[in-house]
């Protein structure tokens, strides 16, 4: 290997006093007060971050200067930097030390943070592992996590908290897959083996639907809601009229609204289906949002902090204050869907697209590229008329 030059010389290595002396490219000679001399190299591992989300920068010892020559230290330093540039932590190179399950899991969490639409989802991902997996297998070398260890984590919650257990299994599988890709494991993922062998007991689950108000009761409820001045009330009114999801409404920004064409364009990254959704704006919807433009906020429905959205619980807490029990905000989407089914001439496709649901097979969707905007506009006009106008007529 070619030896690279630096700031240090053989004579300086022998004579420099206490301190840290740089040779360049992250290589240092450390001289202790006792006179002992050793080499260290500082590298930044590509694509890896520490628990605070900062680039993973680590010092590695290369040996004592009385044993490792200056040229040998430069050679080893160069090799460490090459590994780090490829995204390999030199600490684990060559299986000298296998990281624990928790170490890999936290690294996966940090690497995936930019991919989650909502930071809350990313926090839930690691919290589930921290609560159920880390206490039992967190300290184990990731290479030693097999079927018995995974079952030890999953069995206690598999029937009692089945949905949580399923998400937990998916996250353990993801961690072990990454560990294998980095060379810390061999063989098939134990989560896959457990699932395919049906080792875990079958659990029959009842589908839980969001509790919804009957559509015939909506006009009276809306009339009472319209008497409230709170921003949460305005957001809930808009949610009812658009049949949108809570997060879509609370995070709405003015730049998404085209008032000339009377369309609210929700970007793909804020939609559950990862597709842009166009919502026709009716006169009733415009009557809610247009006065809010005077607030000059970035958010349509601003929360307590300037330019920040309201809490996800704001609309639900308003329902509780209004003594509307057993109803969820999301349930108004079901209410709209039930009402649509009762209307003559409304196709299932138009109703489902109004809820931003995918309709048909992938092949059918590939050819049916229209979002039926104008048909959906008429449906929302009829729905808004029923909710707002019909009761007052």
Tokens of 107: 């690294």
- Taken in order 393, 284, 209, 302, is the CA torsion positive or negative? negative
Cα–Cα distance, 125 to 337 (Å, whole number): 32
User: Mind listing the domains of the chain with CATH numbers?
Assistant: 10-94 (3.30.160.390), 101-197 (1.10.150.130), 215-392 (1.10.443.10)
Helix, strand or coil for residue 118? coil
Residues 81/25, Cβ–Cβ less than 8 Å: yes
User: What Cα–Cα distance (Å) separates residue 66 from each residue in 25, 26, 40, 301?
Assistant: 21, 20, 14, 68
Tokens of 211: 């509790």
Separation of alpha carbons 96 and 102, rounded Å: 18
Q: How far is CA 240 from CA 37, 39, 120, 332, in A?
A: 72, 67, 25, 6
Query: Looking up tokens 């080893």, which residue turns up?
Result: 76
Six token digits for residue 258: 């085209």
Find the helix or strand (DSSP H, E) in which 165 lies: helix 162-181
Which pLDDT score is estimated for 368? 60
pLDDT of residue 91: 63
- Please provide residue 355's backbone torsions phi and psi, each rounded to the nearest 5 degrees: -95, 5
DSSP string, 237-305: HHHHHHT--HHHHHT-BGGGEETTTTEEEE-GGGSTTSS-EEEEPPHHHHHHHGGGGGG--SBSSB-SS
**DSSP code at position 383:** H
Q: Structure pTM?
A: 0.54
pLDDT, residue 97, reads 66
Output the tens digit of pLDDT for each of the chain's 393 residues: 334 456 899 999 999 999 889 998 889 999 988 888 988 888 887 776 666 667 767 787 888 888 889 998 898 888 888 877 877 666 655 545 678 899 889 888 877 777 776 667 778 899 999 999 999 999 998 889 999 999 999 999 998 888 899 999 999 999 999 888 777 788 889 999 998 888 888 876 555 556 889 999 999 999 999 999 999 999 999 999 999 999 999 999 999 999 999 999 999 989 988 889 999 999 999 999 999 999 999 999 999 999 999 998 999 999 999 999 889 999 999 999 999 999 999 999 999 999 999 887 665 665 566 889 999 999 999 999 999 976 665
* Two tokens, residue 356: 């931003």
Q: What is the Cα–Cα distance from 374 to 278, expressed in whole angstroms?
A: 11
320: exposed, middle or buried (Cβ count in 10 Å: 0-12, 13-18, 19+): exposed
């Amino acid at each position: 290997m070619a030896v690279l030059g630096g700031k240090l010389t053989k004579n300086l290595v022998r004579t420099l006093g206490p301190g840290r002396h740089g040779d360049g490219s992250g290589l240092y000679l450390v001289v202790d007060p006792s006179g002992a001399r050793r080499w260290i190299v500082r590298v930044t591992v590509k694509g890896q971050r520490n628990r605070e989300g900062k680039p993973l920068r680590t010092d590695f010892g290369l040996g004592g200067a009385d044993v490792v020559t200056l040229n040998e230290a430069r050679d080893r330093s160069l090799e460490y930097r090459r590994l780090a540039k490829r995204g390999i932590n030199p600490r684990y190179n060559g299986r000298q030390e296998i990281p624990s399950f928790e170490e890999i899991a936290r690294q996966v969490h940090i690497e995936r943070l930019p991919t989650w639409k909502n930071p809350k989802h990313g926090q839930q991902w690691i919290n589930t592992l921290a609560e159920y997996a880390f206490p039992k297998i967190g300290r184990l070398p990731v290479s030693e996590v097999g079927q018995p260890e995974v079952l030890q984590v999953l069995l206690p919650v598999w029937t009692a908290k089945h949905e949580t257990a399923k998400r937990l299994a998916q996250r353990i599988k993801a961690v072990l897959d990454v560990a294998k890709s980095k060379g810390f494991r061999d063989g098939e993922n134990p989560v896959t083996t457990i699932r395919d062998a049906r080792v875990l007991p079958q659990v029959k689950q009842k589908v839980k639907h969001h509790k919804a108000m009957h559509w015939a009761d909506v006009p009276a409820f809306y009339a009472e809601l319209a008497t409230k001045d709170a921003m949460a009330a305005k957001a809930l009114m808009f949610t009812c009229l658009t049949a949108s999801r809570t997060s879509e409404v609370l995070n709405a920004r003015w730049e998404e609204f085209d008032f000339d064409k009377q369309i609210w364009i929700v970007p793909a990254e804020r939609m559950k289906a990862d597709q842009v959704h166009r919502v026709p704006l009716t006169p009733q919807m415009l009557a809610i949002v247009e006065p809010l433009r005077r607030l000059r906020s970035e958010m349509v429905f601003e929360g307590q902090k300037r330019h920040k959205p309201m809490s996800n619980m704001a609309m639900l807490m308003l329902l509780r204050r209004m003594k509307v029990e057993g109803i969820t905000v999301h349930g108004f989407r079901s209410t709209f869907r039930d009402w649509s089914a009762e209307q003559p001439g409304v196709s299932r496709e138009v109703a489902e697209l109004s809820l931003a649901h995918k309709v048909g097979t992938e092949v059918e969707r590939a050819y049916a590229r229209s979002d039926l905007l104008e048909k959906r506009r008429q449906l929302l006009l009829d729905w808004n008329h029923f909710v707002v106008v019909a009761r007052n007529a």
